[in-house]
């Protein structure tokens, strides 16, 4: 997986250099976003159904190629708390993206797709601890890698020159050993800086 990502990154850098020589590189943008949403699905093997609103943060950086096309990379961490005893599902993931955009006055709508992967870490505690440092029976911990397909749509609001506010919606589809992991829509809000 690492070799594939490194190969694709090298290809993107080569494309960017080539585009700059041909005057196709029109700049770049990047920034940070916070997100929430709704994830739902079954954890095979233990018969557990996870659902709820994740909270997370991450960022994006993109090269602008031509008038309406961008390529780049993004990465996020989403944590989905379960019950009220410290249980959680945590997604750490990233990937390579491509999107198209247009400018309508101060608005800049866009749509695209990210391909990548990451890992989901799960900690499930089915009993409350009696006290600090007490052992907990029935606790389950698991970490698994996954591939991800993430279509998204969004819109920037041009605040002033290089500073944009962005609102984005995606639908993370995570696949692991031919099984779907908990998935669903997420909503992002953040700041982007253009150059």
- In angstroms, the CA 177 to CA 186 distance is 23
Q: How confident is the model at residue 3 (pLDDT cuts 50, 70, 90)?
A: low
What does the pLDDT read at residue 177? 75
Within a domain: residue 123? yes
CATH code, domain carrying 73: 2.40.160.20
For 179-188, how does the pLDDT look when each residue is reduced to its tens digit (9 = 90+)?
778 888 999 9
Q: What angle do CA 113, 89, 147 make, to 5 degrees?
A: 35
Within a domain: residue 107? yes
Within a domain: residue 7? no
Within a domain: residue 184? yes
- H/E run at residue 8: helix 2-21
- In angstroms, the CA 35 to CA 70 distance is 22
Q: Does the predicted TM-score (pTM) go above 0.95? A: no
More confident: 104 or 14: 104
Q: How confident is the model at residue 155 (pLDDT cuts 50, 70, 90)?
A: very high
Token pair for residue 140? 């389950």
Within a domain: residue 150? yes
What does the pLDDT read at residue 99? 95
- In angstroms, the CA 117 to CA 155 distance is 24
Q: How many domains are contained in the chain?
A: 1
Within a domain: residue 12? no
Burial of 131 (0-12, 13-18, 19+ CB in 10 A): exposed
Q: Judge whether residue 2 has pLDDT over 80.
A: no
For 36-55, how does the pLDDT look when each residue is reduced to its tens digit (9 = 90+)?
999 998 887 778 888 999 99
Q: Judge whether residue 170 has pLDDT over 80.
A: yes
Within a domain: residue 89? yes
Within a domain: residue 18? no
Which domain does 141 fall in, by range? 26-194
DSSP 109-133: EEEEEEEEEEEEEEEE-SS--SSTT
Kindly state the average pLDDT of the residues 143-147.
91
């Amino acid at each position: 997986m690492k070799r594939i990502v490194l190969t694709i990154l090298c290809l993107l850098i080569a494309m960017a250099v080539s585009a700059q020589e041909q005057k196709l590189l029109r700049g770049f943008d990047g920034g940070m976003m916070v997100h929430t949403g709704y994830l739902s699905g079954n954890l095979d093997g233990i018969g557990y159904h996870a659902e709820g609103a994740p909270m997370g943060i991450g960022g994006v950086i993109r090269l602008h190629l031509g008038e309406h096309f961008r390529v780049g990379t993004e990465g996020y961490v989403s944590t989905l708390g379960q019950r009220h005893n410290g249980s959680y599902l945590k997604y750490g993931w990233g990937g390579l993206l491509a999107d198209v955009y247009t400018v309508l006055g101060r608005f800049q709508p866009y749509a695209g797709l990210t391909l990548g992967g990451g890992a989901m870490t799960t900690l499930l505690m089915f009993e409350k601890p009696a006290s600090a440092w007490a052992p907990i029976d029935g606790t389950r911990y698991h970490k698994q890698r996954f591939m991800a397909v993430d279509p998204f749509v969004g819109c920037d609001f041009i605040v002033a020159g290089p500073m944009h506010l962005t609102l984005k919606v995606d639908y993370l589809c995570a696949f692991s050993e031919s099984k779907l992991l908990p998935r669903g829509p997420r909503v992002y809000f953040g700041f982007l800086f253009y150059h």
